[in-house]
């Protein structure tokens, strides 16, 4: 249904008048207009020059007009975080479309006309109620990334594993009800990332080992028959899993790496099987030993309460920030090994991935990390006018928010020109979150220095380095407090995974990840094991009344059996 009062849609009128190629409609203001006018302006579908259209974070948007097919030059269509119940069949008319994002809606299916989008390279339908994917996806021969996580899929279509999809590098299908992974997965020569965590898989095809470029896999949360394989999977040991599958495939011919490999144990990896006579009554002892080994393999998080450390960092929230970006949670993490090899780089890459995925390009939440030793507490979460907010941004000299945003806008525009007009960078998108704001949010130390300016940047003053021993984590959002907590949970869990992976690598060969011998740390010089300690941080109002403490008893309650939280 299209809105009747077109006069309220000034952005659409401006885009029409100036022949704009891009249009972004998002947030509360847009949502209110959709609700009061019964939909979007019909003029939207006459903007045939558009190559980028985003309509997001509008719960009142429940349907998309068939007239969307008029926008034949669209190359990016972003319709995320609404309440859309169906995608019109006219989507198939958008022959130039490269990016389609309809994540976080109320979709139950995707029309088969999506298969007509021959230029499509990115498809994101995550966080819906989809039970099956359309046939014919193999016709989208330029498809590079597909995200179908958090739906109700029980199977992935066979043509998703077609040899025609030789550019498909990322498949994310976590949190569904998938019962089987096709052996045809080996038909995808470009596959680099495969996430099928939290499904109902019982076996993995050994053909997975034939994916030469596969670097990142996640099968956690599946109950595999082969318990040894399950142990490797839960330990995030990609190389070990692939080697195991390859060895199992060579040893048995066609089949799956299931019960047989589990029964043979080391023989599947090491080559020669030894016929060891079975001892009666040994089953219980073996199970107990296996349980003990599994317990040792778990990632451990130890939570310290505020009372355990009276000198911990504290944060107060000014009343002015309520109208700008009201939600914040913080904590301190100790035991993170950033010194070994490329551990720091891997951590920063993981943070970027969370920003892109869970934080929706920083539109729902923003993460900031600081070196605790460089913080001067107590901290104040405040809101300041653009001219008075000054910060030393990462890698830059001190400037006020007005000049910083101007510089970043110029850089985003230049980047967009270099990559052709239709591409809008993540930077360009989150800069728009501050449009129309009279005050900007910021985290300020006790000396008045701004150390964080969400969603834009951190300060160079508190930047983490390889030598950082304690990290202060901060997550802010304009959506909800629970959003902040969910992102913080995910960040800390990822840190535990990375830390254990680093530790396991060092344990295996006595070297860091670049192959150099790792010196034995002196007392207090760094973590001796993979365990992380999370120190609670209290957030209060200006009068000292508690607003939130993280982590509380209801936080960090991950379902993963590979994470043990000690409180």
Tokens of 155: 């199977």
**pLDDT for position 309:** 60
- Judge if the upstream peptide bond of residue 401 is cis by omega within 30 degrees of 0: no
Tell me what pLDDT residue 521 has. 44
Mean pLDDT of the chain: 82
Q: What is the pLDDT of residues 506-553, one digit of tens each?
A: 655 555 444 444 444 444 444 556 788 999 999 999 988 899 999 888
Q: Are strands 52-56 and 22-26 parallel, antiparallel or unpaired?
A: parallel
Q: Given pLDDT bands bounded at 50, 70 and 90, which one contains residue 86?
A: very high
pLDDT surpasses 60 at 193:
yes
Per-residue 3-state assignment (H helix, E strand, C coil) for 20-60: CCEEEEEHHHHHHHHHHHCCEEHHHHHCCCCCEEEEECECC
Look at 335-344, 397-406, 525-534 and tell me which has the smallest mean pLDDT.
525-534
pTM, to two decimals: 0.54
CATH 3.50.40.10: which residues of the chain? 299-507+525-566
Query: Is the distance from CB of 333 to CB of 533 less than 8 angstroms?
Result: yes
Q: 135: Cβ–Cβ under 8 A, 6 or more apart, which residues?
A: 112, 115, 157, 159
Q: Is 563 helix (H, G, I), strand (E, B) or coil?
A: strand
| In the predicted structure, residue 358 carries a pLDDT above the cut 90 | no
Instruction: Give CATH 3.80.10.10 domain extents, the chain.
Output: 131-265
Amino acid 4: pLDDT: 54
Read off the pLDDT of each residue in 153-159 and give the average, rounded to a whole number: 93
Banded model confidence at residue 227, pLDDT cuts 50, 70, 90: confident
pLDDT tens for 288-319 read 554 444 444 556 667 776 565 656 788 999 99
Task: Give the pair of three-digit tokens for residue 411.
Answer: 């850089």
Residue 372 pLDDT greater than 80, yes or no: yes
Domain 131-265 falls under CATH 3.40.190.10: no
Taking 70 as the threshold, does the pLDDT of residue 80 lie above it? yes
- pLDDT for position 426: 55
pLDDT band (50, 70, 90) for residue 262: very low
CA 83-87-93 angle, to 5 degrees, is 145
| 389 vs 520: which has the higher pLDDT | 389
Distance CA 27, CA 434 (A): 12
Helix (H, G, I), strand (E, B) or coil at 332: strand
What pLDDT, on a 0 to 100 scale, did the predictor assign at position 471? 94
CA 373 – CA 515 distance, rounded (Å)? 29
The Cα–Cα gap between 128 and 193 comes to 22
Residue 196 DSSP SS3: coil
Rg (the chain; Cα; Å): 26
Cβ–Cβ < 8 Å for 458, 394: yes
H helix runs in 432-513, sequence order: 481-509
CATH 3.50.40.10 correct for 299-507+525-566 = yes
483 touches 325 (CB < 8 A)? no
| Residues 457-513: tens digit of each pLDDT | 999 999 999 999 999 999 999 888 989 998 999 999 889 888 887 776 665 555 544
Between the CA of residue 519 and those of 334, 340, 511, 526, 551, what are the distances in Å?
20, 10, 8, 11, 33
Exposed, middle or buried by CB within 10 Å (0-12, 13-18, 19+), for 504? Answer: middle
pLDDT tens-digit readout, 1-11: 454 555 678 88
């Amino acid at each position: 249904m299209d809105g009747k009062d077109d006069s309220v849609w000034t952005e659409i009128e401006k885009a029409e008048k100036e022949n704009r190629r891009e249009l972004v409609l998002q947030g509360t203001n847009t949502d209110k207009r959709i609700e009061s006018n019964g939909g979007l302006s019909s003029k939207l579908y006459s903007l045939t020059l558009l190559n980028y259209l985003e309509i997001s974070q509008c719960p009142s948007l429940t349907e998309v007009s068939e007239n969307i097919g008029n926008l034949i030059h669209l190359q990016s269509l972003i319709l995320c975080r609404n309440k859309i119940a169906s995608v019109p069949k006219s989507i198939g008319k958008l022959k130039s479309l490269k990016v389609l994002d309809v994540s976080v809606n109320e979709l139950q299916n995707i029309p088969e006309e999506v298969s007509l989008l021959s230029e499509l390279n990115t498809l994101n339908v995550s966080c819906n109620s989809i039970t099956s994917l359309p046939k014919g996806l193999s016709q989208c021969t330029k498809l590079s990334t597909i995200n179908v996580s958090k739906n109700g899929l029980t199977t992935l279509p066979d043509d998703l594993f077609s040899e025609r999809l030789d550019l498909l590098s990322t498949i994310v299908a976590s949190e569904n009800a998938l019962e089987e992974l096709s052996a045809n997965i080996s038909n995808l020569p470009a596959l680099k990332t495969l996430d099928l965590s939290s499904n109902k898989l019982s076996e993995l095809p050994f053909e997975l080992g034939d994916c030469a470029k596969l670097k990142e896999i996640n099968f956690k949360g599946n109950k595999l028959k082969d318990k040894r394989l399950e142990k490797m999977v839960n330990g995030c040991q990609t190389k070990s899993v692939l080697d195991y599958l390859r060895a199992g495939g060579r040893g048995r011919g066609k089949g799956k790496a299931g019960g047989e490999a589990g029964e043979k144990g080391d023989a599947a990896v090491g080559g020669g099987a030894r016929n060891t006579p079975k001892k009666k009554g040994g089953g219980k002892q073996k199970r107990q030993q296996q349980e003990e080994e599994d317990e040792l393999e778990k990632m451990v998080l130890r939570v310290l309460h505020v009372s355990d450390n009276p000198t911990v960092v504290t944060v107060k929230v000014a009343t002015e920030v309520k109208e700008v970006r009201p939600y914040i949670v913080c904590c301190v993490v100790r035991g993170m090994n950033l010194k070994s090899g490329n551990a720091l780089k891997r951590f920063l890459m993981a943070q970027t991935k969370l920003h892109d995925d869970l934080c929706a390009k920083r539109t729902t939440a923003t993460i900031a990390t600081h070196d605790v030793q460089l913080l001067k507490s107590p901290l104040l979460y405040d809101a300041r006018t653009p001219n008075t907010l000054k910060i030393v941004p990462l890698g830059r000299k001190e400037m006020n928010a007005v000049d910083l945003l101007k510089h970043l806008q110029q850089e985003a525009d230049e980047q967009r020109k270099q990559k052709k007009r239709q591409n809008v960078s993540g930077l360009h998108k989150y800069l728009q979150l501050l449009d129309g704001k009279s005050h900007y949010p910021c985290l300020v130390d006790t000396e008045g220095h701004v150390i964080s300016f969400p969603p834009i940047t951190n300060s160079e003053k508190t930047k983490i380095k390889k030598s950082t021993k304690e990290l202060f984590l901060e997550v802010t959002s304009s959506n909800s407090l629970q959003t902040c907590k969910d992102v913080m949970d995910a960040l800390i869990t990822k840190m535990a995974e990375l830390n254990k992976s680093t530790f396991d690598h060092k344990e295996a060969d006595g070297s860091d990840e670049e192959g150099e011998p790792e010196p034995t740390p002196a007392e207090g010089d760094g973590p001796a094991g993979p365990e992380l300690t999370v120190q609670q941080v209290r957030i209060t109002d200006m009068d000292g009344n508690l607003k939130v403490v993280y982590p509380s008893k209801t936080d960090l309650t991950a379902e993963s059996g590979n994470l043990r939280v000690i409180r």
